[in-house]
Amino acid sequence: MHVFTERDLTTTLDSSTRVCVVGYGSQGRAHALNLRDSGVDVVLGLRPGGASARQASAEGWSPRPIAEAVQGASIVMILLPDTAQPAVFREAIAPHLEPGALLMFAHGFNVHYGQIDAPAGVDVALVAPKSPGAMVRREYTRGCGVPCLMAVHRDATGSARARTLAYAHAIGGTRAGVLETSFAEETETDLFGEQAVLCGGVTELVTKGFETLVEAGYQPEIAYFECLHELKLIVDLMHEGGLAKVHQFVSETAIYGDLSRGPRIVDAGAKARMKEVLEEVQTGAFAREWLVENQVGKPSYRRMLARDLEHPIEAVGRSLRARMTWLEEGPGDADQEDRSAAQ
C-alpha cells in the first residue's frame, strides 16, 4: 500500500479556499484550528445558541448558522454525530452546496448505508484521522501529525482525489502518512473494530474477568487491579511496539500464560462470532438496527448503557481511582464528542 506524504501533493489549500466545517466537537475543533493555521479560509457552521457555538465563540470564532456557512464554500466537512447528519444535510447543507463543491466526512457511515446522497456534480470524499481530535490538534502544533485515511466516493469534477489529499495535508495528515481506502472499507472495518475488539470486545473481556474472580471469592478491589487497571500497561506496550514489545517487557510466566491460555479464551468460537458481527456490518443489518433504534428514542441503547454503568466494577473503580492522584483528565473526557442532535 502506498503511503501518501507531502511529495504526492498536486494541489494545496490556501486562503483562496473556503472550507466550511460543520460541527465543533472533538474532530471539528481540531480540523478547524489546523486548517486555519495552515492558511485556509475557515468558516464554522453551527446551531445558533448551542453549546458548540458558545464554545467556538469563546475561542475567537464567529460561527454562522449551517445553511449560511455552507454558501460559497468549496469544501464542506461534516463532523456531526452519525445520527444527526442526514437531517442536517437535507435541511441545511444540500440546498446550498456550490456546483463542484467537495462534500467531506470523517466516517463513511451515512454515505455507505445510503442515508446521505449528495447532489449531482458534487464530489464526495472522506478524511479520517486515526486518533481523537485532541491528538490531531496536539500533534499538528508540535509540527507532526497523525496518520489519516482518505477515500473518494464520487469524483464529479476530476479533482476530488487531489483536493482530498490537500485537505488531509492541511490538517497535518501527510506529516505522518495518508492511506487510501474506500468508503465501504473504512466504514465496515471501523464498525467491526469498535464492536468486536476496541469497545465491545475489550469491555466484555474485562467485566467477565472481573466477575470470574469475584464469584470465586477474591476481593473486588484485587480483581479490578488485575482485570482493568493493568490493562493500560499492555495496551501501551502493544501500541508502541506490537506483540513483540509486550513479550519484551512482561515476564516469561506471563508470556507462557498468554501463549498457552489465551487461545482457550478467545477461541475459534469467538472468531466465528466475530465473523457473524462482521457480516451484520457488511449486509447493513447493524446499520438498519441502529437507525431504527434512534427513530424510536433509543430505549434498548439506554437500557444496555445503564446496565454497563451500574456494573459493580464501576463502583469499585471509582473508589480506587480516587486514590490515584496521578490520574488526570484523559482522552475519554477531553475528546468526548458533542452528541447533541444539532450543533
Residue 36 CB neighbours (<10 A): 16
Q: Which residue is listed with cell 473526557?
A: 333
- Residue numbers in the known binding site are 24-27, 47, 52, 133, 190, 194, 226, 230, 251
DSSP assignment of 151-162, as one string? EEEE-SSS-HHH
Q: What is the DSSP letter of 121?
A: T
| Catalytic-residue membership of 107 | yes
Cα-based angle 275, 192, 226 (whole degrees, multiple of 5): 95
Cβ contact 50:340 at 8 Å: yes
Binding residues for NADP(+): 24-27, 47, 52, 133
**From CA 156, how far away is CA 306, in angstroms rounded?**
46
Q: Which of 52, 48, 55, 76 is nearest to 164 (CA)?
A: 76
Grid look-up 485532541 returns 134
Return d(Cα 86, Cα 93) in angstroms, integer: 10
Contacts of residue 321, defined as CB under 8 A and 6 or more positions apart, other chains included, come to 327
Contact between 294 and 209 (Cβ < 8 Å): no
Q: Single out the catalytic residue among 31, 96, 107, 153.
A: 107
Task: Enter the C-alpha cell of residue 8.
Answer: 504526492
Which amino acid, one-letter code, is at 184?
Answer: A
> Angle, nearest 10°, between helix axes 285-295 and 299-309?
100
> Which residue ranges are tagged as binding site for Mg(2+)?
190, 194, 226, 230
Contact in structure between 203 and 227 (CB atoms under 8 Å)? no
Q: Which residues contact 124 (CB under 8 A, 6 or more apart)?
A: 102, 103, 104, 111, 118, 152, 153, 154, 160
Q: Are 181 and 151 in contact (CB under 8 A)?
A: yes
Active site amino acids? 107
